[in-house]
C-alpha cells in the first residue's frame, strides 16, 4: 500500500466525515478547516473502507432520532460520496489491515474495533512518509499511545 507522492497523508476518521456531511453544529467548522488545510498543503486523504459503513450507520441513526430530516439525510449521503471521491481507500479492502487492527484493539472493548483499522492504515502509510490521523475521538489518542506510538494524532476539539 504505497502513498502517492505528496507532502504527507492524512487518515480521516469517520467522525470527521460525519461532521462534514451532516454539518454538525458543534464540530463542522473545525472539521472543515482541518480538512481544507490538509488539502491546501497538498496532503493526500486516506481512510479504511469501513468509513462508509460507519458514516451510513450514523446518518441513519440521526434520521431515526430526528436529528436529520429525510432531505438532510439524502444530502449527507451525497456529501459522503463527494468526499469519498477525494479519499483513497485500500485497494484490496481492509483485509490487509486486519491482523494489526486486531492487535491494536486487543485490551479494548468491541466499540474500539474499527479504530484499529484507522490506526493500522496510518502505520502502514507512515512507512512511506509523514502521516497524521485526523479525529475528534479522544479515545483514539489513548489507543494510539498504548499500541501505535509512531502514529501522530491530530485531535480536533469537539
pLDDT of residue 6: 72
* Residues 115-138 pLDDT 10s: 999 999 999 999 999 999 999 999
pTM higher than the cut 0.75: yes
pLDDT of residue 13: 98
Of the ranges 9-23, 69-83, 109-123, which one carries the lowest mean pLDDT score?
A: 109-123
CA angle (156, 16, 92) in 5-degree steps: 125
Q: Is the pLDDT of residue 107 over 80?
A: no
Question: Is 2 part of any domain?
Answer: no
Q: What is the mean pLDDT of residues 45-74?
A: 98
Q: What is the mean pLDDT of residues 16-26?
A: 97
Host domain of residue 140: 9-155
**Residues 68/62, Cβ–Cβ less than 8 Å:** yes
Question: Is 133 part of any domain?
Answer: yes
| Tally of domains within the chain | 1
Q: Is the pLDDT of residue 1 over 70?
A: no
Question: Is 64 part of any domain?
Answer: yes
Q: What is the mean pLDDT of residues 106-119?
A: 84
Q: What is the mean pLDDT of residues 131-148?
A: 92
Question: Is 147 part of any domain?
Answer: yes
pLDDT of residue 5: 63
Q: What is the mean pLDDT of residues 102-120?
A: 84
Strands 152-155 and 131-135: parallel
Question: Is 151 part of any domain?
Answer: yes
pLDDT of residue 14: 98
Question: Is 3 part of any domain?
Answer: no
Question: Is 59 part of any domain?
Answer: yes
pLDDT of residue 106: 80
Question: Is 142 part of any domain?
Answer: yes
Q: What is the CATH number of the domain that holds 33?
A: 3.40.50.1010
Phi then psi for 24, rounded to 5 degrees? -55, 125
pLDDT of residue 131: 96
Please list the helix, strand and coil fractions of the chain in percent, rounded to the nearest 5, in that order: 55, 10, 30
Amino acid at each position: 500500500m504505497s502513498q502517492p507522492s505528496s507532502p504527507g497523508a492524512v487518515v480521516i476518521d469517520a467522525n470527521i466525515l460525519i461532521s462534514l456531511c451532516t454539518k454538525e453544529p458543534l464540530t463542522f467548522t473545525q472539521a472543515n478547516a482541518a480538512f481544507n488545510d490538509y488539502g491546501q498543503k497538498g496532503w493526500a486523504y486516506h481512510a479504511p473502507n469501513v468509513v462508509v459503513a460507519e458514516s451510513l450507520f450514523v446518518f441513519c441513526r440521526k434520521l431515526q432520532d430526528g436529528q436529520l430530516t429525510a432531505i438532510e439525510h439524502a444530502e449527507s449521503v451525497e456529501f459522503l460520496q463527494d468526499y469519498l471521491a477525494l479519499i483513497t481507500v485500500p485497494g484490496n479492502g481492509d483485509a490487509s489491515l486486519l491482523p494489526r487492527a486486531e492487535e491494536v484493539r486487543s485490551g479494548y472493548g468491541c466499540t474500539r474495533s474499527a479504530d484499529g483499522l484507522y490506526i493500522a492504515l496510518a502505520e502502514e502509510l507512515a512507512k512511506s512518509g509523514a502521516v497524521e490521523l485526523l479525529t475528534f475521538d479522544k479515545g483514539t489518542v489513548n489507543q494510539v499511545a498504548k499500541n501505535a506510538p509512531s502514529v501522530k494524532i491530530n485531535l480536533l476539539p469537539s
